[in-house]
Amino acid sequence: MNSIVRELALDNGLTVRFSDASRRYFGDYHQVRVEVTCEVPLTAQLFDDPAAFEAARKLLGASVSYRKLVEHQGVPTLLVADQVEKVIQHFIEHSLGYFSSENFPRRLVQSELNRLKSRSRSFAIPMHING
C-alpha cells in the first residue's frame, strides 16, 4: 500500500509527492520503494497556439505525470524509515531545482509528446510549444 510521506509545493505551482511503497520480502529485510510523482496540468500557456494545445490535450488528456520509482533492496526493518528519508533528501538535493524551474512543465509536456510521436509516426500533431 502506498502512503504519501511528503509533499513539496514548488514555486512554479507544481507539487512533488513522495509515496512509500516499501515491503518486507524476507525475514527482517525489506525492499524500500519510494515513488516520486509530479503532475503537470496541460494549459494553453504551455503552447504557441490554440491548435497545438487542443491536439496535445486530445493525446495526453488534462495532465502529464512524472513518475519515478526508487528502490533499495535488503534494508533491515530498523533502517527502513531512514532509507526512505535518504531517498527523499537525495531527490531534494539533486533534482528539486530542475522540477522547480519555470521551464519544467513545458519540458515534461514536450517530452511526453515526443515519446508518443516516436511510438507512432501516424500522429500528425502540431508541436509548437512556447519556449
Encode pLDDT of 34-46 as tens digits.
Answer: 999 999 999 999 9
How many C-beta atoms lie closer than 10 Å to residue 118's C-beta?
9
Residue 41 falls inside a structural domain: yes
Residue 85 falls inside a structural domain: yes
What confidence category does residue 117 fall into, taking pLDDT thresholds of 50, 70 and 90?
confident
Q: Which candidate, 120, 91, 131, places its Cα nearest to that of 8?
A: 91
Residue 60 falls inside a structural domain: yes
Beta bridge partner(s), residue 64: 40
Residue 126 falls inside a structural domain: no
For the chain, percent of residues with pLDDT exceeding 70: 91
- Interval 7-22: pLDDT, tens: 999 999 999 999 999 9
| Domain count within the chain | 1
